[in-house]
Structure 1
Amino acid sequence: MGGFAYFAGKTKILEAALHREAEVLHFALVRALSESKTAQGALRRVLCAYATLWGLRTSATQLLASEMAHLPAERQEWLEQVREGFAMECAVLLRSSRPELSEPEAQMMVHGALTVVHILSVLPPALCPRVPAEELADLAMDSLAGTPHNRERHPVGDRDRAAPRLRSVKPRGWSSHPTHP
């Protein structure tokens, strides 16, 4: 059985992996707070760490979204609280640099920024070239600041990487007709 003998079953392996991933997010948040001089700097560091974590192909982070249904209800609730707590901490950082925002506005904006980072960091390379975590963090910060993403301020090698675009690639076996397989 090897390493599996240590765990009581697949659910326990999943719980352990997701617990470790939650610890990584918490560590990224604590580190960003301790190493940054401003709330805005801390928020950018957190977003960069989040983008890096989601972009790792070996990361258990992707399991967090796809496998939570297989966990006991109390563990699902705990993981939801971890995710919400992370987003709320980001909203507090946002409100520190943008005090005109209400708490619900800041939370909504942070959820939007985290969603953009998540989606762009997990898209298959066939659909969108890999976007560096720093570029995703800058894109998210620009959206949180209410300013358009500025390519001159955040230069990258080629235009497609600065402004990710979906390529018109159909997976093999997909029909161009929407009602027929």
Structure 2
Amino acid sequence: MKKSLVLAGIIFASSSVYAANIDYFVAVGGGQGYETVKIDVAGFSKSTNDNGGAFSVDGGILINDTHRIGLEYSKYNTSGNSSLVSIALGYDYRIHIKESKFKPYLGLSYMRLVDLENTTNNATVTYDQSNFELDTNAIMGRIGVDYDINTNFYASAMCDYAFNTSGSTNLGFTTSGTHYNANVEVDKLNRFQLLVGYKF
């Protein structure tokens, strides 16, 4: 009896997998990113805000037109010779509204943000190194809406926000003859994006 139940369960699970409708997708777009960087040095803390445009490429699978799993690469506009890129693995649940081309969705992603910054010495501050790298891991929650242009093409608007960030780096510098070690970390992070996708 138990063997029969196990066999029936395996057959049902297999048929469910084969019955799933799996599409692949790719999307490109751009938007705006906002971050708050916190600097702790000698018992004092200071936060600075920054923002910049971004270009993103996203691709993955769409299961039953509802469950979307994708890998996203984004490159952000930065000043000077600095560089800022991110890679994120995410999941979205698309909500179907009867007879509507609009599909709101809720999502969650794990993001790896790599920020390479150059330092510039001046008359009052001398840095220990010419550049430093700040690597940040973030758990991002997001909300958005897709609009099905036709069977294959869709447009999407999305906003995400970091629930949690981790990762920091030390930056050494000397000012007024005294050497300090500063701890630098990304404290807050959120983005707004517009994308166009293709399902195949």
Bigger fraction of residues in strand: 2
Bigger fraction of residues in helix: 1
Q: Determine which structure has more spread, i.e. the larger CA radius of gyration.
A: 2
Q: Shorter-chain TM-score category? A: under 0.3
When normalised by structure 2's length, the TM-score is 0.20
When normalised by structure 1's length, the TM-score is 0.22
